Amino acid sequence: SDLQKQEERGELLQPLIFVLLVLCSVLLYFKVSLMDPGFVKSEEEAGKSEEQSMVIPQVPSNIKMRRCGYCMVKQPMRAKHCQLCQHCVRRYDHHCPWIENCVGEKNHPLFIVYLSVQLVVLLWGGHIAWSGLYFEQSWDWLQHNILLLMSFLLIVIFTIVVLLLLISHLYLISCNTTTWEFMSHHRISYLRHSELENPFDQGVILNLWRFFC
């Protein structure tokens, strides 16, 4: 049959891979949006941990852990209270309306993986939509291809958004800083009183290694 011939020629492999990528993207979306981003638990109230003291010796010792005025837990360094989630989040990056969840210590690496898979799906989908377009300067052509053309334009817009988001996150990760710290540097006590511009930066390679591994 035609289906068997297509399978023998390997023509079914690409659609299968594309469908699997889409499925993987959907599963990653639900995983990142439903998982705990690193909520600060009440039993974690303490001063600096031993790990923090070793990793960040440049941070002034006179900076004390402050108690959150909303959920009344002591915030570890780099944590922030999210008004939408009603929790303090460890290594808070931002609250993402796309996934309706915070991006923090626990789900940030998976969020990057999700963006990467999503970008591949969008680029592939854009290529498929573009290959189906043939341009003619006529009203009939526009009527028959308006949905495909709009789909292609939407894919291009989403691709640009995801690409810029992924690039910006990878840049911040390579500097070992978060979106919140980057945007609010002047308002964060442990950064404002630090002698270094970024006391967490340990070099690009080590920053990436610590984040992903």
- Spatial CB neighbours of 194, under 8 Å, sequence gap ≥ 6: 58, 59, 60
102 catalytic residue (yes or no) = no
- Write out the two tokens for 54: 């070793």
From CA 115, how far away is CA 93, in angstroms rounded? 15
From CA 128, how far away is CA 93, in angstroms rounded? 34
Question: Nearest-CA neighbor of 96 among 21, 191, 161?
Answer: 161
**Burial (CB count <10 Å: 0-12, 13-18, 19+), residue 29:** middle
Question: Nearest-CA neighbor of 64 among 47, 44, 81, 51?
Answer: 47
Which of 71, 96, 102, 175 is labelled catalytic?
Answer: 96
Catalytic residues: 96
